[in-house]
């Protein structure tokens, strides 16, 4: 019955004959393990097609949606991380298999007559695969993909005359945006795989026409493709798949923070298999007067690919084959070396921990800081997404309402040239003071603003410790105030007068109470004021009685004779907003005479920060992390 059905099927379709045609390929010298690389590449591509199709079912190109959908796939979709992980790892496996397959073909001399066309088809397949890698890198629309791909599309504009047009065509305009994503996605999921399938069919047809290149092993009999070679291919592909799945599980695929066109990512690197091209660009010094970058980015790679296309023709000459092998080995070694060198440069700071003053050290350190900053930003956006979900306007709209994300960015950009922020979780380094030159005033810095307005911070300000006290670097150490009245008062009046241990104890207690009273003005969300009401009341008493001599200069409560830094509402939202906006105003550094180089960030004359940015910064400094309204 089954036999009958099969015969009917076969008579109508010719399936049996086709299958025999496909499987009973003669392999001179028999099945070998070294013939598996081609099948593995086909299998890898098939995996990419299938996993890619499923990713497509969940991916949405577009500036607002791309990152959001990839985030969903990676972190919320059941099995999504494995799906994207396998696609991600298999892509790299494919790029690793390519040179292996290519080297085999070259060494076995399988690219020469009569197989020229197959060699050319193979090269086209290689270029398409690399293009797939390049286009896929942008699709998650994270900082890394955005900035790395931006370099690639800038390079597309290098060729004279057509460069600018080419760039516009790829990017879909002059700026990165929706159309960059829609175009890259169409290329990655449609055009390039379509071309790859077409060329692969031709590649395989050509391969079947000429058969395997076997340098016959006389003692081994021929075998058919089925079953021994199929078995070997199958085992190799199964191993590859197992390794890829294992890698995807062992190291879950990552995602960077969402692309932000004006928040430059200082650690943009292409995917590792393009690092040799990235590194090569560094050696084409622009000082020669002509367009050397074009040479490094396009001409040289094009010449090398051109040479590879010419290899079958070169091989006809005497020693041509040897030349080809030599050049290919040199190219592959150079690529490996350049990749290694690129990694060395980025990791210089880890490998040479003592060479702290050299330019490579500083550059590599900045690179790692940027990587760390990007990881931190991702942690923050991940928490935001968990708490609030991603709004229609996209993930960056969420970031722009978050005091923590924006506070870190704004502080780094506007404050960190003077202030450090030595927070346990979100530290930002202060200025590394350059030597004074005619161009720069040299040694400077301002108080560390981590935990500003807290009991701990105020206690430190009122301490005479040479490192952690008011004249230490964390407070007035690098400002003109180090020699000012406040520092003098703390050192000479308060602490110098406390001669015995008991006096010092008493002073420390009073300072602690005053610190609580002042911090209570700030009402910081992370301190428990209710539990310390006694200290606060005592502190208020000291301030009103002027036990520590504060209100000679500062206003507090009923006392309005002060001329500098109002202590009413100290470090509160209103107080900080005023201080940042215009520190020269009444109640702060009145008229500016007491102000040591603190700029006005939002006043009549300057608008370095918008009111909204100041609001974010104020919340950040107070560690009030509630989102700003839209």
Partner 1 sequence: MNEVKPKSRDTETSPPQTTNERRGFLSSAAAITAAALGGLLGVGPLAIGLYATVMDPLRKKTTPQKAAGSAGATGAKEGYYFVAQIGELDSHVPRRFTIVADKIDAWNFMKDQPIGAVYMRMQGEQIECFHTTCPHAGCAVSYELESQAYLCPCHNSSFKVDGSKLEFSGSSNPSPRGLDALEVDVQGTNVFVKYEDYFTGRHDQVAK
Which residues here bind partner 1, judged by CB under 8 A?
3, 7, 11, 63-64, 147, 150-151, 154-155, 157-158, 163-165, 168-169, 171-175, 177-179, 183, 261-262, 264, 266-268, 278, 281-287, 289-294, 296-297, 359-360, 362-363, 366-367, 370, 413, 417, 431-432, 434, 437, 439-441, 599-600, 605-608
Quick one: how far is CA 178 from the chain centroid? 21
Shortest distance, position 217 Cβ to partner 1, whole Å: 40
Answer for the pair 180, 298: CB distance below 8 angstroms, yes or no. no
Helix 320-346, helix 359-388: angle, nearest 10: 70
Shortest distance, position 625 Cβ to partner 1, whole Å: 23
Quick one: how far is CA 246 from the chain centroid? 24
Write out the two tokens for 509: 């207690």
Q: Which is nearer to partner 1, 509 or 610 (CB)?
A: 610
Q: Which is nearer to partner 1, 169 or 496 (CB)?
A: 169
Shortest distance, position 89 Cβ to partner 1, whole Å: 26
Q: Which is nearer to partner 1, 437 or 500 (CB)?
A: 437
Q: For the chain, what is the radius of gyration of the CA atoms?
A: 34
Q: Which is nearer to partner 1, 174 or 593 (CB)?
A: 174
Answer for the pair 158, 297: CB distance below 8 angstroms, yes or no. yes
Q: Which is nearer to partner 1, 390 or 538 (CB)?
A: 390
Quick one: how far is CA 357 from the chain centroid? 25
Q: Which is nearer to partner 1, 502 or 605 (CB)?
A: 605
Shortest distance, position 438 Cβ to partner 1, whole Å: 9
> Is the omega angle on the peptide bond into residue 114 within 30 degrees of 0, that is, cis?
yes
Write out the two tokens for 202: 């031709």
Q: Which is nearer to partner 1, 216 or 606 (CB)?
A: 606
Nearest to 311 by CA among 98, 109, 41, 37: 109
* 506 sits in which H/E element: helix 501-522
Q: Which is nearer to partner 1, 254 or 345 (CB)?
A: 345
Neighbours of 411 (CB within 10 A): 20
Q: Which is nearer to partner 1, 556 or 589 (CB)?
A: 589
Rounded to whole angstroms, the Cα distance separating 416 from 192 reads 46
Q: Which is nearer to partner 1, 112 or 149 (CB)?
A: 149
Nearest to 446 by CA among 492, 478, 411, 469: 478
Shortest distance, position 330 Cβ to partner 1, whole Å: 22
3-state helix, strand, coil in the chain (%, to 5): 60, 5, 35
Shortest distance, position 202 Cβ to partner 1, whole Å: 17
Shortest distance, position 214 Cβ to partner 1, whole Å: 34
Shortest distance, position 176 Cβ to partner 1, whole Å: 9
Rounded to whole angstroms, the Cα distance separating 191 from 78 reads 29
Nearest to 571 by CA among 518, 522, 520, 625: 522
Shortest distance, position 502 Cβ to partner 1, whole Å: 47
Neighbours of 570 (CB within 10 A): 20
- Residue 311: how many CA atoms within 13 Å on its side-chain side? 31
Rounded to whole angstroms, the Cα distance separating 52 from 50 reads 5
Shortest distance, position 581 Cβ to partner 1, whole Å: 13
Shortest distance, position 153 Cβ to partner 1, whole Å: 8
Which residues, in sequence order, are CB contacts of 116 under 8 Å at separation 6+? 312, 313
Using DSSP, state whether 440 is helix, strand or coil.
Answer: strand
Q: Which is nearer to partner 1, 478 or 622 (CB)?
A: 478
Burial environment of residue 530 by CB neighbours within 10 A (0 to 12, 13 to 18, 19 or more): exposed
Residue found by looking up tokens 């197992």 in the block: 242
Shortest distance, position 504 Cβ to partner 1, whole Å: 39
Shortest distance, position 378 Cβ to partner 1, whole Å: 18
Pairing of strands 223-224, 26-27: antiparallel
Q: Which is nearer to partner 1, 561 or 604 (CB)?
A: 604
Name the DSSP class of 90: H
Nearest to 308 by CA among 291, 332, 342: 332
φ, ψ for residue 556 (rounded to 5)? -155, 130
Which residues, in sequence order, are CB contacts of 120 under 8 Å at separation 6+? 309, 312
Q: Which is nearer to partner 1, 243 or 264 (CB)?
A: 264
Q: Which is nearer to partner 1, 19 or 264 (CB)?
A: 264
Shortest distance, position 413 Cβ to partner 1, whole Å: 7
């Amino acid at each position: 019955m089954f036999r009958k059905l099969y015969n009917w099927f076969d008579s109508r379709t010719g399936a049996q004959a086709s299958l025999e045609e496909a499987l009973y390929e003669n392999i001179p010298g028999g099945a070998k393990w070294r013939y598996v690389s081609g099948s593995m590449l086909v299998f890898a591509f098939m995996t990419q097609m299938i996993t890619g199709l499923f990713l497509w079912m969940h991916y949405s190109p577009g500036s607002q949606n791309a990152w959001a959908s990839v985030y969903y796939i990676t972190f919320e979709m059941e099995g999504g991380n494995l799906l994207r992980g396998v696609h991600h790892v298999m892509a790299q496996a494919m790029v690793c298999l390519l040179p292996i397959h290519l080297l085999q073909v070259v060494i076995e001399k399988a690219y020469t007559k009569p197989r020229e066309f197959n060699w050319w088809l193979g090269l086209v397949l290689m270029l398409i695969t690399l293009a797939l890698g390049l286009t896929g890198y942008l699709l998650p629309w994270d900082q890394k993909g955005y900035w790395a791909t931006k370099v690639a599309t800038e390079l597309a504009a290098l060729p004279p005359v057509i460069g600018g047009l080419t760039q516009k065509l790829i990017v879909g305009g002059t700026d990165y945006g929706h159309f960059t994503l829609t175009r890259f996605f169409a290329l990655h999921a449609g055009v390039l795989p379509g071309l790859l399938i077409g060329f692969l069919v031709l590649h395989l047809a050509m391969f079947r026409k000429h058969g395997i290149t076997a340098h016959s092993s006389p003692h081994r009999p021929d075998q058919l493709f089925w079953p021994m070679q199929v078995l070997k291919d199958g085992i190799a592909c199964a191993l590859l798949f197992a390794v890829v799945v294992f890698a995807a599980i062992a190291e879950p695929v990552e995602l960077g923070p969402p692309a932000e066109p004006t928040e430059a990512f200082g650690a943009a690197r292409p995917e590792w298999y393009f690092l040799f091209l990235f590194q090569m660009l560094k050696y084409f010094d622009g000082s020669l007067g002509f367009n050397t970058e074009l040479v490094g980015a396009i001409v040289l790679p094009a010449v090398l690919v051109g040479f590879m296309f010419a290899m079958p023709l070169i091989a006809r000459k005497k020693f041509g084959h040897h030349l080809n092998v030599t050049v290919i080995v040199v190219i592959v070694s150079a690529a490996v070396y350049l990749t290694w060198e690129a990694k060395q440069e980025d990791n210089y700071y880890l490998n040479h921990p003592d060479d702290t003053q050299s330019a490579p050290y500083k550059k590599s350190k900045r690179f790692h800081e940027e990587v760390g900053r990007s990881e931190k930003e991702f942690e923050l956006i991940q928490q935001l997404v968990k708490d609030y979900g991603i709004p229609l306007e996209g993930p960056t709209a969420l970031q722009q309402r978050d005091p923590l994300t924006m506070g870190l960015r704004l502080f780094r950009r506007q404050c960190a040239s003077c202030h450090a922020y030595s927070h346990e979780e979100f530290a930002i380094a202060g200025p590394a003071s350059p030597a004074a030159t005619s161009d720069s005033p040299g040694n400077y810095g301002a108080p560390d603003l981590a935990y500003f307005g807290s009991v701990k911070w105020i206690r430190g300000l009122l301490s005479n410790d040479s490192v952690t006290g008011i004249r230490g670097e964390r407070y007035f150490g690098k400002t003109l105030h180090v020699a000012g009245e406040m520092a003098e008062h703390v050192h000479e009046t308060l602490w110098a007068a406390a001669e015995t241990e008991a006096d010092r104890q008493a002073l420390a207690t009073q300072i602690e109470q005053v610190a609580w009273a002042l911090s209570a003005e700030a009402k910081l969300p992370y301190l428990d004021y209710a539990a310390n009401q006694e200290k606060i009341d005592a502190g208020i008493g000291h301030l009103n009685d002027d036990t520590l001599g504060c209100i000679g200069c500062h206003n507090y409560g009923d006392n309005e004779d002060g001329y500098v830094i109002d202590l009413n509402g100290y470090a509160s939202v209103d107080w900080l907003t005023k201080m940042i906006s215009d520190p020269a105003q009444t109640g702060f550094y009145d008229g500016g005479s007491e102000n040591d180089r603190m700029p006005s960030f939002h006043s009549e004359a300057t608008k370095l920060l918008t009111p909204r940015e100041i609001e974010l910064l104020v919340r950040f400094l107070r560690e009030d992390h509630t989102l700003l309204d839209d």
